[in-house]
Amino acid sequence: MSELTTVARPYAKAAFDFAVEKADIAKWQEMLVFAAEVAINDEMRNILASVLAPEKLAELFNSICAEQLNTHGQNFIQVLAENNRLSALPDISSQFNILKAEYDKEIDVDVTSAKKLTKVQVTKMSAALEKRLARKVKLICNVDPTLVAGVIIKAGDTVIDGSVHSKLNRLTDALQA
């Protein structure tokens, strides 16, 4: 876990709690994504690394983001600037998205298969995973022909490896032992 992720978590939590309180989660997510993109711009990173006063940094950042940030978003940028945390905006946005997914009871699931899955397979897999994980599932399907057959499913910390490639590797290890 990076240092910026650790720094970002309380800011993301505060922004998320505020967004929930104001029933404005989508707007906050949009503002944070935009501000994060501004923060990772090469020129902006150089400016953030400079010795500008926090007030000037916040003023510059807010002027660049202009109409993309509401008053609360601009105040958030001011707080980040005062605490020298504007460079953590990409991590704050990422942490905010994680909190939103938990709040919405959603999870992204990576599915890697040897061949492209059919719509029927995707539908059945999605329904089975939603039942097992008790969340709305968004499948992200990838193809890896080296798997030979089967699938590898990754949902958060859970990994289900049903690939023939993996089974062959386990068989090889068992035979060599």
State the alpha helices, DSSP H only, in the chain.
Answer: 3-21, 25-40, 42-49, 54-65, 71-82, 89-103, 119-133, 164-176
CA angle 28, 32, 33 (to 5 degrees): 115
CA–CA separation, 146 vs 138, rounded Å? Answer: 24
First to last CA, the chain: 35
CA–CA separation, 27 vs 40, rounded Å? Answer: 20
Q: What pLDDT score does 1 carry? A: 43
Torsion of CA 36, 42, 45, 51, to 10 degrees: -150
CA–CA separation, 165 vs 155, rounded Å? Answer: 20
CA–CA separation, 46 vs 156, rounded Å? Answer: 34
- 177 residues of the chain, pLDDT tens digit each: 467 678 888 988 999 999 998 888 899 999 999 989 988 888 888 877 777 787 888 888 888 887 888 888 888 888 888 888 888 889 999 999 988 888 888 888 899 998 898 999 999 999 998 898 888 888 899 998 888 788 899 987 888 888 887 888 888 888 887
Q: What pLDDT score does 2 carry? A: 60
CA–CA separation, 82 vs 57, rounded Å? Answer: 9
The pTM (predicted TM-score) of the whole model is: 0.66
Q: What is the pLDDT of residues 111-124, one digit of tens each?
A: 999 889 899 999 99
CA–CA separation, 70 vs 111, rounded Å? Answer: 38
User: How far is residue 165 from each of residues 110, 158, 172, measured CA to CA in Å?
Assistant: 17, 19, 11
